[in-house]
């Protein structure tokens, strides 16, 4: 609730108290203020719940910066792997939809199908592939609900008119999210609660074994796409469906009747974990089987449709979408997830469960959204630089002139000038004075000037002349507090395996500042010992003190056979385990096939990359 509305309600309450003291009835029109008729009969109420209008208006859109493109870009579309906070990335995709840049193969705008498997806010430990603690959600209660609600509100806007969304949860928070989705999508657009039932893992003698997840399926509106799904023969054979459901099986013809059509309880798809699933596993906690996502994709999309997962994790959605000839968008806030997906998309097999012949993925691009490489930005041509600068500060690209002076856009209703540092050099106080002499008060009470930090010769956030404030928007720079209601927060990376899928909400943007790393190598017969003698993060969040030295390390990721072009993730060592080993990691000699690339990641997502060549290792071995 905004301040103006709070003050109005306060005045209404004061007047109401006076009326009740005199015995008068409250005016009937007040009911509209306190109980608006457009509000639903019931809704989930909790602390910190914002209006949909606030969420749509206040969410910051951050531009996408291309990092790497794999294959040649398609003429009409190339798939997207995005590193960044999904809320801000979704806002940017909404702008792309409005601009006609987010279309399915048939030309319809928006995403046809969204599947998300968000952190369940369970506050419990999951088991990883080596029986270690995999992750533990940190957000619980109302904070988790609002975290999800904000994303669901924007995701609804991103859907195509006949699109649908599947939200995968468990028994702990599923019922709360169901109520929220009724509010956002409308109860009339609730299609199915799918029960994914399985029999893996242990059981309890103290209660009924909890062996299912809930998947809530909503349509954007009543005109939604749906393709009938049937139980597949390989699943029937693998899981002995002829024994479980003999009434649907003709033994003489060895054929299933079509009325074994998929129902809303799915028992024929098992979670990963058995030996038969080994080719599909990527050792990422909570990885879902491709067979599960295949059924969802085939049911609610057609070939050439856009399928999106904004909690992309291990990349099952994008891998399955690729195999089923769909377009895809994958977003994750974790660098480990992004590198896991990148490798998965470059090593696909044709069949579901990742068997069969190799499958070359269609072109896809890895983007940064919220954490940028400033050196690459600085090398952009002027027009590209100008457009990116406007996007960074959420400015509308609206060129206009004031007394003959060229302005580039608008920000919160005020004029914006992108300073051409390629031609015009630097900005001094005299530069601002000359600008003010030219445009005067015709610009209003404020004007924004965007330029690289080094272009400004003064340190102030703004210069005031004749009641007009000229704000310096520096790239990169520490954001001016008064320009945004929300404090900036970073793309925090995990430093132990428990936190891999921790819910993270980043606000704003920052620029990559590689940490300082010094190593000490020792080559042995069985392994190469790498000791991290020095680690220092250069990142500073909105003027706060930097986290000291090794404590800022998130993880070390390793490619045992670096080809000189693409980092191919083979192993991740978490900072908590490295610390327990006296800041050393051991690289098994048998795994090393050539050059070894080590990626040192700080907790804000900044990387330093070091390549160790066989020549260096041989030299260390001789010592």
Please say if the pLDDT value at position 619 is more than 50: yes
Could you say which of 347, 369, 391 is where a domain stops? 369
Same domain, 533 and 401: no
Would residue 502 count as lying in a domain? Answer: no
Q: E strands along 107-232, which residues? A: 111-116, 159-169, 190-197, 212-219
Q: Is the pLDDT of residue 168 over 90?
A: yes
What CA–CA distance (Å, rounded) separates 165 from 152? Answer: 9
Report the C-alpha dihedral over residues 402, 404, 405, 406, rounded to 10 degrees.
90
Name residue 396's beta-bridge partners: 410
Provide mean pLDDT across the span 279-283: 85
Token digits of residue 526: 């069985």
End-to-end CA gap in the chain: 68
Q: Which residues of 119-146 are buried (b: 16+ CB within 10 A; e: fewer)?
A: bbbbeeebebeeeebbbbbebeebbbbb
| 488 occurs within a structural domain | no
Q: Which of 43-47, 260-264, 286-290, 346-350 has the weakest average pLDDT?
A: 43-47
Please report the pLDDT score of residue 119 as a whole number: 80
- pTM of the full predicted structure? 0.83
Provide the CATH number for the domain around residue 597.
2.60.40.10
How far is it, in rounded angstroms, from Cα 331 to Cα 137? 19
Are 406 and 350 found together in one domain? no
Distance from C-alpha of 114 to C-alpha of 350, rounded to nearest angstrom: 23
- Please determine, for residue 539, whether its predicted confidence score (pLDDT) is greater than 80: no
What are 373-430's pLDDT values in tens digits? 888 887 888 888 899 999 888 899 999 999 999 999 999 899 999 999 888 889 999 9
> Would residue 57 count as lying in a domain?
no
**Of 131-140, 252-261, 367-376, 412-421, which range is least confident?**
131-140
Residues 526 and 589 grouped into a single domain? yes
In this prediction, residue 398 carries a pLDDT of 93
Per-residue pLDDT reduced to its tens digit, 431-446? 999 999 999 999 999 9
Q: What is the CATH number of the domain that holds 457?
A: 3.40.1350
Question: Which residues, in sequence order, are bridge partners of residue 70?
Answer: 364
Domain membership flag for residue 312: yes
Q: The domain containing residue 26 runs over which residues?
A: 3-39
Comparing 204-208, 224-228, 301-305, 410-414, which segment has the lowest mean pLDDT? 204-208
- Give the pLDDT of residue 368: 94
More confident residue, 479 or 170: 170
Provide the pLDDT for residue 247. 53
Residue-level pLDDT at 493: 79
What band does 447 get if pLDDT is binned at 50, 70 and 90? Answer: very high
Say whether both 94 and 239 belong to one domain.
Answer: yes
Q: Indicate whether 44 belongs to any domain.
A: no
The last residue of one of the domains, among 334, 369, 404, is 369
- Specify whether 471 is located in the same domain as 364: no
User: How many helices and strands in the chain, by DSSP H and E?
Assistant: 17, 30
Same domain, 346 and 466: no
What is the structure's pLDDT at 377? Answer: 83
Mean pLDDT of 590-598: 93
90 shares a domain with 114: yes
CA separation for the pair 267, 318 (Å, rounded): 23
Q: Which of 178, 213, 199 is nearest to 292 (CA)?
A: 213
96-100, 319-323, 455-459, 488-492: segment of lowest average pLDDT: 488-492
The pLDDT value given to residue 81: 98
Residue-wise pLDDT for 513-534, tens only, equals 899 999 999 988 889 999 999 9
Q: Is residue 489 part of a domain?
A: no
Do 95 and 214 share a structural domain? Answer: yes
Which of 96-100, 107-111, 237-241, 528-532 bottoms out in mean pLDDT, i.e. has the lowest? 237-241
Domain shared by 191 and 245, yes or no: yes
Q: Assign 479 a pLDDT band (cuts: 50, 70, 90).
A: very low
d(CA 258, CA 6): 59
> Does residue 100 share a domain with residue 29?
no
Q: What is the b/e burial string over 389-402, where b = at least 16 CB atoms within 10 angstroms of the residue's CB? A: bbbbbbbeeeeeeb
What average pLDDT does the segment 542-569 reach? 84
**Mean confidence (pLDDT) of the chain:** 84
| H or E segment and range at residue 604 | none
Q: Which of 38-42, 152-156, 468-472 has the lowest mean pLDDT?
A: 38-42
Helix (H) or strand (E) holding 32: helix 30-34
Residue 45 lies in a domain: no
Is residue 114 pLDDT above 80, yes or no?
A: yes
Give the total number of structural domains in the chain. Answer: 4
Q: What integer pLDDT is reported at residue 504 of this predicted model?
A: 64
Single out the residue of 559, 550, 557 nearest to residue 579, CA to CA.
550
Same domain, 324 and 214: yes
Residue 574 lies in a domain: yes
Are residues 360 and 386 located together in one domain of the fold? no
Pick from 317-331, 502-516, 597-611: least confident? 502-516
Percent of the chain with pLDDT over 70: 78
**Given pLDDT bands bounded at 50, 70 and 90, which one contains residue 216?**
very high
**pLDDT top residue among 238 and 92:** 92
Per-residue confidence at 616, pLDDT binned at 50, 70, 90?
Answer: confident
Q: Tell me how far apart the alpha carbons of residues 126 and 92 are, in angstroms, rounded to a whole number.
A: 33
**How would residue 15 be classed by pLDDT, with cut points 50, 70 and 90?**
low
Lowest mean pLDDT among 61-65, 213-217, 439-443, 502-506: 502-506
String of DSSP letters for 436-474: HHHHGGGG-SEEEEEEEGGGBS---SEEEETTEEEEEEE
- Between 548 and 601, residue with greater pLDDT: 601
Q: How does strand 364-369 pair with strand 79-84?
A: parallel
**The two structure tokens encoding residue 44:** 């989930």
Distances (CA, A) of 534 to 472, 515, 552, 558: 36, 10, 11, 18
CB atoms within 10 A of CB 482: 9
């Amino acid at each position: 609730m905004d301040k103006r509305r709070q003050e109005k309600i306060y005045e209404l309450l004061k007047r109401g108290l006076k009326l009740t003291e005199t015995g008068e009835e409250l005016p009937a029109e007040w009911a509209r203020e306190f109980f608006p008729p457009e509000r639903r009969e019931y809704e989930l109420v909790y602390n910190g719940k914002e209006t949909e209008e606030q969420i749509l208006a206040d969410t910051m859109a951050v531009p996408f910066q291309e990092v790497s493109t794999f294959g040649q870009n398609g003429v009409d579309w190339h798939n997207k792997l995005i590193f960044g906070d999904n809320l801000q990335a979704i806002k940017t995709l909404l702008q792309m939809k409005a601009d006609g840049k987010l279309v399915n193969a048939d030309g319809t705008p928006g995403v046809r199908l969204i599947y998300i498997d968000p952190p369940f806010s369970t506050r419990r430990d999951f088991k990883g592939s080596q029986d270690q603690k995999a992750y533990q959600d940190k957000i619980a209660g109302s904070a988790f609900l609002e975290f999800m609600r904000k994303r669901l509100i924007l995701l609804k806007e991103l859907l195509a008119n006949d699109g649908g969304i599947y939200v995968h949860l468990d028994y702990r928070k599923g019922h709360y999210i169901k109520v929220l989705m009724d509010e956002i999508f409308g109860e009339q657009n609730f299609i199915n609660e799918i029960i994914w039932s399985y029999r893996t893992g242990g059981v309890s003698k103290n209660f009924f074994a909890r062996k299912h997840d809930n998947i809530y399926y909503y349509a954007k509106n009543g005109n939604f796409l749906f393709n009938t799904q049937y139980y597949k023969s390989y699943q029937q054979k693998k899981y002995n469906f002829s024994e479980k459901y003999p009434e649907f099986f003709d033994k003489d013809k060895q054929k299933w009747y079509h009325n074994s059509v998929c129902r809303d309880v799915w028992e024929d798809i098992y979670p990963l974990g058995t030996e038969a699933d080994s080719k599909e596993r990527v050792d990422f906690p909570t990885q879902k089987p491709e067979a599960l996502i295949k059924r969802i994709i085939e049911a609610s999309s057609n070939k050439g449709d856009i399928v999106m997962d904004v909690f992309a994790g291990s990349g099952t959605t994008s891998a399955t979408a690729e195999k089923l000839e769909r377009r895809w968008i994958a977003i994750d806030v974790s660098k480990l997830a992004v590198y896991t997906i990148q490798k998965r998309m470059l090593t696909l097999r044709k069949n579901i469960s990742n068997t069969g012949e190799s499958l070359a993925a269609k072109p896809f691009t890895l983007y940064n959204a919220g954490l940028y490489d400033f050196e690459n930005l600085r090398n952009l041509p002027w027009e590209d630089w100008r457009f990116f600068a406007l996007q960074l500060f959420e400015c509308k690209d609206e060129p206009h002139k004031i007394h003959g002076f060229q302005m580039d856009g608008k920000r919160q209703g005020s004029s914006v000038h992108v300073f051409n540092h390629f031609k015009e050099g630097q900005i001094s106080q005299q530069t601002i004075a000359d600008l003010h002499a030219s445009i005067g008060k015709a610009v209003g009470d404020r004007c924004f000037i965007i330029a690289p930090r080094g272009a400004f010769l003064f340190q102030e956030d703004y210069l005031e002349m004749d009641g007009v404030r000229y704000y310096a928007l520096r790239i990169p720079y520490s954001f001016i507090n008064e320009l945004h209601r929300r404090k900036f927060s970073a793309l925090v990376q995990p430093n132990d395996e428990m936190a891999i899928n921790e819910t993270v909400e980043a606000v704003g943007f920052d620029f990559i500042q590689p940490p300082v790393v010094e190593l000490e190598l020792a080559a042995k017969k069985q392994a190469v010992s790498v000791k991290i003698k020095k680690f220092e993060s250069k990142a500073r969040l909105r003027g706060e003190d930097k986290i000291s030295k090794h404590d800022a390390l998130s993880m070390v990721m390793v490619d045992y056979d670096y080809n000189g072009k693409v980092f191919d993730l083979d192993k991740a060592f978490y900072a908590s385990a490295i610390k327990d080993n006296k800041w050393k990691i051991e690289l098994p000699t048998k795994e090393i096939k050539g050059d070894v690339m080590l990626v040192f990641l700080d907790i804000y997502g900044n990387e330093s990359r070091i390549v160790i060549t066989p020549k260096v290792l041989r030299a260390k071995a001789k010592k």
